[in-house]
Structure 1
């Protein structure tokens, strides 16, 4: 179990942060609490560090300056440097140039590699005796993933979908490199957490039926097999478990092709779908007291407790909560009005609140947070109405659950003639993914004429075949090059009752079904086979009973002296009762799948962690889908 000081179990997010700050930076600090150091990182590791640690965290560990490995730097020969770099030829060469010769940039170097250092590069370092004399530490810290959420991570390979599922990708150099990078970075997740996973992967083939699997079978099988070999090597390390301590299921994007394109109406999902967001950075305009318009940039992360409270809520619930909080703010601050010389019975206007905030700085942060989220929620509702998303989303969900056909689609397209082309394409992809083998070249041309969409856009629908989703009738076999049997789309449960009374909430990602079945011990071994049968059978169930044969205690719990990070800031959990569940999605995951991990962690009393090659909004997913094959010229 990954443990912090005092041997308390930690959440995924906290264990990741501690590995960077305690196991790496603090170990370089040693017994000296007064000497400052320089932190040098490359393009990959600066992302790794910034997703979990703020500059104040780094400063607290004795770092006075952060520098980029690829940039020219001034010599600081009175200071030691901590190098956190990837074990690439380029980064190792730059490090050696920094510290060799008669004029090294720093006094001593503490070197931490983000993953395994190749033998040939280690040999180059050992050959240089002058360099060796200037190295205070040389370690593999195993941290090459980005913890983008309290319970989510990416291996930062946004091109994985076209590289692994493209028309000509199989056997290509890009294919092999992408598989290798996924395996390397995924290995560091389990190395950093000191977890040994029981590895399973999605397989659509059936040995009893003698059917050949789809492209995702090849990808998932390769990753699972190679990862199993890599993590088994970690067992040689001191302190690494010798038996399985967690569960990992590897799936590809074809296991749920609807989730990336359907409209979701929880706060975080809508934000990434309808507004411009760069990771966790959101920019918006405010009007100052002087009447000027300024652009502000905020980070929507764990430090914003209001964001953590709202992010998984339905937009209707968000609006109710924000209204209640604003009313509570007004009622609690009548004393502020008295201080301002105002009648305490008089209602506060927005202008009054701004005046109060300027006069009483202690309320500024509180009202700034409320103002930010009121602004976001208002923008989202404006977009919702402008795009007529209630009508579109109703049809999307009816298509998914088999309550609508192509006739209802045509009717909606006529009812909303100015529908955005991307919303048309998303409806078509949902129809194609949830109604296997319903299209043929004739219908293809008809839809393109009716919808007036480009051949490039339609190519995204065609390319679902390259994921292994049977879109076209068998008689039209141009795309069926894998010899697959008819795709079996899993039945999706209507989750409206689970999600409360809100409209447009019956859809849920199939990730939920996979995790729930795994937790109950009911996940099919035919559809999700093990790479190796586990030496420890996990007997944890949805009732929360922990596996009696587990060699270690569960590895997640609330953060010391704080709310549990995996709980979305909603308060401490009742405590862990089972080992972690990891799901890795090849080809991009969605905000709704991260939300599912938050919800299931609370329900199952087991920390659910979702990883992927990237986090994609619908627009980015559609762009990647268009890249899977060259555009065929269609005569329309």
Structure 2
């Protein structure tokens, strides 16, 4: 149901004459209508959208053996095995299944050019494959299935390239090729385009998920966390009940669709414009005649919806602004950017020590800063990691923070120089040409100093689109494609970020003539990335930290 809710609202579903939405194994009465548990509804038809996994197929078989509906129309989001089809047929004693199709949608679509596989804990795949558990093989299969479903929904059979420095990227590339060959009939598209699927590894750029973000969607995810397009604000101060959970979806919110890549300063201006637009609509409502009254009644639902949308974005902006000021996130971000982009070790040490000594800076951000320092200067003679580690341990007064301290060492095991294949540091320009605050409410000025670091993905895509991507560093799997491509599908094992999604959105808005679609195991913020890295290793398997609670 989550896959569906990401792209269509409950209101839109009802408008299609779908009156009840519930899980196939609904035993608790959770549905869009009143409880339907054990209620016979033989006057209704059931449309079942299911993942072809064991649990879904088992639930479907149970529903067919004790049917509630007149007939069943079944749509699987990916390939269905012959064994599963036989099992379903055997369960259909009443012959109520009228159609069964494969409708390739086995992934989570977030933006028009961003999706993920909802596999936030794929970290154990980095171990030796001979040590993999059955659960690890299931994760690899799930990632492969999601990629294949994306290709089929786009009706593309791409040539596959992968990051040569990553054995895991090569493994995924092999599995994708094998899947396309096994399902060659459905991948037989008569298409003159030149698509390429590029498999990358999060470990090649561990910096991006650690940085404070300054574009709207990325900033909301970093400070408030977006889960299935929903933001939980119940723990935020002075939040009204109707704002306890808000939806941030580009398909259901026109303003968010227009502003999700805006930087912090431009966002303030846009929200101010939204507020002014609402004021104009509200004050223009004159009720002098019966016709005016009728017009007001007809327009009231739209005005009420508009008011709710304005309240949502203002509320989110107010909360983010509070966090930015109270946690000194601009000062933090400047230090993070300096660590990512500058080379002066002496200056870096001074800035890190200043942040570690500031009581207003959250412990999580201190850990991020320390990790960025460690990544940058892990082989620098005379680095101050021992001192930094000691200071962090002294400040770690809670069990959560004590576990967090280990991240500054685990990040090296995860993505240190010995692990990475490419150059992480170098000369990097700013992603945005200008970031100026224009919100009269008093937002501080945002400048390039906060957005200097460009994700590695930027240079990779730039080189690929120019036809110059190194075949040695990014070899082809199975077949060689054209150097000129017009459709690029990127998948990042270990997760993508909304800042990388903003970069892709900017490319797609340009006149390059090439369409880029970005996908990943999950969508990270710094909290989820830290948890992922801490869980990579056997002695950290069960660690998952609620950083918000004790940060």
Is the TM value for this pair above 0.5? yes
Give the counterpart of 2:205 among 245, 248, 256.
Answer: 256
Taking the aligned partners of 2:44 and 2:274, their CA distance within structure 1 comes to 49
Cα shift at 1:183: 0.6
Structure-2 residue corresponding to 1:608: 516
Could you tell me which runs of 5 or more consecutive residues in structure 1 were left unpaired when the two chains were aligned: 1-45, 205-216, 286-290, 341-355, 471-479, 541-578
Work out whether residues 432 and 438 of structure 1, in 8 Å CA contact, stay in contact via their aligned partners in 2.
no
Instruction: Tell me, in whole angstroms, the C-alpha distance in 1 between the residues paired with 2:45 and 2:420.
Output: 61
The one of 218, 224, 247 equivalent to 1:299 is: 247
Counterpart Cα distance in 1 of 2:191 and 2:282: 58
Output one character per residue of 1:8-39: Cα deviation in whole Å (capped at 9) or x when no partner.
xxxxxxxxxxxxxxxxxxxxxxxxxxxxxxxx
2:108–2:117: 8 Å Cα contact kept in structure 1? yes
Task: Write the distance in 1 (CA, Å) between the matches of 2:193 and 2:182.
Answer: 14
Q: Distance in 2 between matches of 1:53 and 1:362?
A: 19
- Partners of 2:239 and 2:198 in 1: CA distance: 52
RMSD: 3.3
Match of 1:110 among 51, 73, 77: 73
Q: 1:282 aligns with which of 231, 237, 241?
A: 231
| Residues 447-492 of structure 1 deviation map (CA, whole Å, 9 limit, x = unaligned) | 222233455223222222443422xxxxxxxxx7xxx698632535
Whether the aligned pair in 1 keeps the contact of 2:156 and 2:191 (CA below 8 Å) is: no
* C-alpha contact (below 8 Å) 1:455/1:631 kept by paired residues: no
2:43 counterpart residue number: 78
Q: 2:264 & 2:147 partners in 1: Cα distance?
A: 34
Superposition map of 1:536-551 within 5 A: 537-540=482-485
Q: Secondary structure at the match of 1:78?
A: strand
CA offset digits 1:487-537 (Å, max 9, x no partner): 632535212563555411222222121111111111111111111233x52
**SS of equivalent residue, structure 1 residue 240:** coil
Matched with 2:64 is 99
Provide the rounded CA distance (Å) in 2 between the counterparts of 1:234 and 1:167: 28
Q: Aligned partners of 1:242, 1:54: CA distance in 2, in Å? A: 33
1:446 aligns with 2:387: yes
Aligned to 2:132: 171
The answer as to whether partners of 1:83 and 1:110 remain within 8 angstroms in 2 is yes
Equivalent runs, 1:338-353 vs 2, <5 Å: none
Cα displacement string for residues 268-289 of structure 1 (whole angstroms, at most 9, x for unaligned residues): 222122235433223558xxxx
Aligned mates of 2:369, 2:420 — CA distance in 1: 25
1:170 to partner: Cα distance:
4.6
Q: Are positions 1:65 and 2:11 aligned together?
A: no
Residue segments in structure 2 that go unaligned for 5+ positions in a row: 28-36, 289-295, 437-445, 541-551
Render the CA deviation track for 1:564-584: whole Å, top value 9, x for unaligned.
Answer: xxxxxxxxxxxxxxx321111
Distance 1:422 1:387 in 2: 11
CA distance in structure 2 between the aligned counterparts of 1:363 and 1:300, rounded to whole angstroms: 19
Partner of 1:159: 121
| 1:622 corresponding residue in structure 2 | 530
Q: Which residue of structure 2 aligns with residue 30 of structure 1?
A: none
TM, length-normalised to structure 1: 0.71
Do structure 1's residue 185 and structure 2's residue 92 form an aligned pair? no
- Which position in structure 1 is the counterpart of 2:409? 462
Greater helix content: 2
Query: What is aligned with 1:493?
Result: 428
**Structure-2 residue corresponding to 1:195:** 156
Partner residue of 2:504 out of 597, 604, 623: 597
Residue number in structure 1 paired with 2:31: none
Preserved CA contact (<8 Å) 1:495 1:508: yes
Report the number of matched residues: 498
2:170 is aligned, of 214, 218, 221, to 221
User: Highest Rg: 1 or 2?
Assistant: 1
Q: Decide which of 464, 470, 479 is 1:518's aligned counterpart.
A: 464
Contact 1:164/1:170 (<8 A) preserved: no
1:271 and 2:271 matched: no
